Amino acid sequence: MQNLIRSFNQSTTYIGRRNVLLSIQQQRTVVFARGERVRGLIRDPEDILTVNGHRYGVTPENLKPIKTYLESANVPPLDDSLLLQVITHKSFAHGSQPYNARLAVFGEELIQLKASKYALSQETKNQFAVGGKNFDCLGSYGHRMLFTDLVLSSFAQTKGFADIFFCRVSAPITFKNPAEFKPKKMYSTLTTSLVGAIASQHGKKVAEEFIEREVLPTVLTTVKSIASSKSTKGSEEKK
Amino acid sequence: MSASMLRFASRRTVSIYNSSIPKALNTTIRCIATSPVKTLTETKSSFPDHKFSYEKACRQALVDNTLTNKSDTLDFGAYQRTFKLTISEEEASKIPSILALHARLNLSKNYQYSTLVRSLTCQTADSDYADNLQMSLFGAHLLSYYVTEHLIATYPRLPVSILRNATEAYIGDYSLYDVAKNVWGIEADSTSNLEKYLAKEPRLFRFGRLRFSSHTTEVEKGITKIGSTSELAITKATAFSNAVRAIVSGLYAHDGEEATKEFIKNHILSRKIDVGKMFQFRSPGKMLVKLLKAQKMEAPTIRLISETGRNSSSPVFIVGCFSGEHMLAEGQGSSLKEARIRSLVDALKAFYLYRPLDPKASSDKDFKPLFVDAGETFY
């Protein structure tokens, strides 16, 4: 633990219109704690605003991973402050900085809808289809997996824009390597809020194209591998 | 913990002790902790569920044994459920209540009568007819997206908890139950086979009503029989709301997404909900101080604007909540404290219920980039 001592001086003020100067000199010492948490001590604000060596702010270094990905994915440009909001979780700095919760809610709804529309768009010979749409596939394991936190967080990590994520996680005591603890519920907000940001700035159509072009192919591959490992496990257990 | 103490323990309190209590005893505690009628009508869940009804509708899972194929395949066109029967278009067009509903909802000619029949058929154990389970699931996705989109565009600063509450108010089970029953005039098929026989009602006509396995049955007026042996039993509100969701998804299948959006706008979003009443501030003064600090504005001050009858039995005080020279809100009350609290609450509501002029949703043709708020300060 490293302690940091800072002093504060209260400024002088004029009272009313009279030329009376009231000067209060007051000095107090605040001890900030850095590193591991110390009960009863105030954490250094600089420490709160830094995650894995990255200081919070609109800087080229912070936005590099997400910007690189968006350029490679041919997504129309988004504002830097909005991108920083996308990579900030509400757990970061006690929610004092703009965070991605509302964008994530919006994006999640759109991903859910688009995944269902994708499932319905497949050609079918089912006699119980309605208007050529096979509703029988909805609610199945395969369909529900398309928009789970597991696959959406995996997408963010595969594409590399989860490298810098301003969040505060507390790994379970039993977890061997706390630095690698990445809760899927938290990391999935990276994908959902990115979709929400695209939808809110460029419209639903552009966001849906992004989901269809970028998110769904990766998600389908992930779901396939999960399903195959599940069936392998099942057959081994039977044996 | 003695048995008498457990009797009064809430469900939440009991769950803390779950790990130390044997499984059999745990189940008993849950039964004691809830109302006796509730245990008879609801299926016991292994863990508490805090989801809204619209969220539950979006996450309905299909039981694997109702499918003829594997449920983890990604060939979505090949999925097939174990339905055996369906009502044909010709048969459906002979049902008066279906024709009336079609006309009442002003549905297009593309919308088939047989789809309406399927929308009114819930999953039951003893039926081989195609049901509305998955249609209602897709309808829930459509409704929750368009309602969320509308709310985010209209109130960009709404806290997430209020956003979810407002969505529930629009498309929750009870709201859609009201739409189905009192606006669209859908009726439940509650008459017995004997009554139908005595009334000489054609067999086909029952498909014009909402059919579902209910937890409760009304034996006669004033007497309700509680309890159903079926695992597929659902509440009346869920059944009616699922019918609405299925009708919405039927519209998507026949007329496309644009028509569905228009339908949702006319039938669901046209209903007025009071978002302002959903807010409940425990300490509005503290919240406003935090909010203004986050917005880099001056701390709030309350100033008396006018007063009348201070010494009378009915005084009226009007105060203003200011940040620097800007008045954020005005409050009035019969005491200074009441007026102050009202002004603080109104100042908070004025911030959170900010509404852009002529809001456009992201799916609108003349869409403009939305205002994205930083999120509510909670610390």
Residue A26 lies in a domain: yes
Of B74, B252, B373, the CB nearest to A223: B74
pLDDT under 70 in chain B at which residues?
A: 1-49, 228-229, 377-379
* CB proximity list for B273: less than 8 A, separation 6 or greater: B166, B169, B170
For residue B153, how many other CB atoms are within 10 A of its CB?
22
How many whole angstroms separate alpha carbon B164 and alpha carbon B145? 12
Query: Do A122 and B58 count as a contact with CB atoms less than 8 A apart?
Result: no
Q: What is the pLDDT, as a whole number, of residue B40?
A: 56
Number of folded domains that form chain A: 2
> Residue A190 pLDDT more than 80?
yes
Q: What is the pLDDT, as a whole number, of residue A28?
A: 81
* CB proximity list for A205: less than 8 A, separation 6 or greater: B363
Q: Are residues A60 and A160 in the same domain?
A: yes
Contacts of B251 in chain A (CB under 8 A): none
Q: Are residues A59 and A28 in the same domain?
A: no
Q: Which of B113, B88, B119, B83 is nearest to B212 (CA)?
A: B119
Residue A238 lies in a domain: no
Residue A197 lies in a domain: yes
Query: Do B62 and A138 count as a contact with CB atoms less than 8 A apart?
Result: yes
Q: Nearest-CA distance from B108 to chain A in Å?
A: 13
CATH of domain B283-352: 3.30.160.20
Structure tokens at A113: 């809808």
> Residue A12 pLDDT more than 90?
no
Q: How far is CA B247 from the centre of its chain?
A: 16
Q: Are residues A44 and A161 in the same domain?
A: no
CA angle A226, A231, A235 (to 5 degrees): 150
> Residue A45 pLDDT more than 50?
yes
Query: Do A105 and B60 count as a contact with CB atoms less than 8 A apart?
Result: no
Q: Are residues A139 and A62 in the same domain?
A: yes
Q: Are residues A120 and A4 in the same domain?
A: no
Q: Are residues A36 and A67 in the same domain?
A: no
Confidence check on the interface: ipTM exceeds 0.90, yes or no = no
Q: Which residue has the higher pLDDT, B11 or A131?
A: A131
For residue A238, give Cα distances in angstroms to A7, B2, B71, B159, B183.
69, 44, 19, 49, 54
Q: Are residues A29 and A121 in the same domain?
A: no
Q: Are residues A96 and A147 in the same domain?
A: yes
Of B76, B152, B378, the CB nearest to A134: B76
Could you tell me which CATH class the domain B55-276 is placed in? mainly alpha
For residue B374, give Cα distances in angstroms to A88, B152, B268.
10, 13, 29
Contacts of B77 in chain A (CB under 8 A): 122-126, 134, 137
Interface contact B264, partner A, CB < 8 A = no
Q: What integer best gives the mean pLDDT of chain A?
A: 87
Q: What is the pLDDT, as a whole number, of residue B69?
A: 79
Q: Are residues A90 and A184 in the same domain?
A: yes
Interface contact B171, partner A, CB < 8 A = no
* β-pairing verdict for A27-34 and A42-43: parallel
Q: Are residues A181 and A219 in the same domain?
A: yes
**Contact in structure between B315 and B308 (CB atoms under 8 Å):** yes
Instruction: Indicate the pLDDT class of residue A16, thresholds 50, 70 and 90.
Output: low
> Residue A234 pLDDT more than 70?
no
Query: Do A144 and B80 count as a contact with CB atoms less than 8 A apart?
Result: no
- Helix, strand or coil for residue B223? strand
Residue A235 lies in a domain: no
Of B141, B158, B362, the CB nearest to A116: B141
Q: Are residues A29 and A125 in the same domain?
A: no
Q: Where are the domains of chain B?
A: 3-50, 55-276, 283-352
Residue A237 lies in a domain: no
- Indicate which CATH number applies to the domain containing A119: 1.10.1520.10
Give residue A24's domain range: 1-48
Q: Are residues A71 and A128 in the same domain?
A: yes
Interface contact B103, partner A, CB < 8 A = no
Element (H, E) at B287: helix B284-294
Q: What is the pLDDT, as a whole number, of residue B144?
A: 97
For A104-127, the pLDDT digits (tens) are 999 999 999 999 999 999 999 999
For residue B224, give Cα distances in angstroms to B219, B281, B296.
6, 40, 59
Interface contact B140, partner A, CB < 8 A = no
Chain A residue closest in CA terms to B56:
A139
